[in-house]
Amino acid sequence: MQKGQRDLLEKLQADEELAKNESMKQGMADLDQLFTILEYFDALHTVSFDLSLARGRFILASLMKRQ
């Protein structure tokens, strides 16, 4: 299971296969914007990006509030 924040997003952005997919590029750009907003409000520490919902070639992203 892979969880993280901007560090995990940066790994995904570095993946050449994912970068070829326009939908993935848009999703990663949206997550980058979300992380920027969370940082601005000093709330990034309250969320974690979770890739455990990956199914086949599709990645379902889940932002989960830390307990």
Give pLDDT tens digits for 45-63.
888 777 765 554 444 444 4
- Indicate if the pLDDT at residue 34 is higher than 80: yes
- pLDDT mean over 33-55: 82
Q: What is the 3-state secondary structure (H, E, C) of 7-56?
A: HHHHHHHHCHHHHCCHHHHHHHHHHHHHHHHHHHCCCHHHEEEECCCCEC
Residue 1 CA to residue 53 CA, distance in Å, equals 9
Q: Rounded to whole angstroms, what are the CA distances from 42 to 4, 5, 18, 45?
A: 16, 14, 29, 8
- The pLDDT, as a whole number, for residue 41 is 94
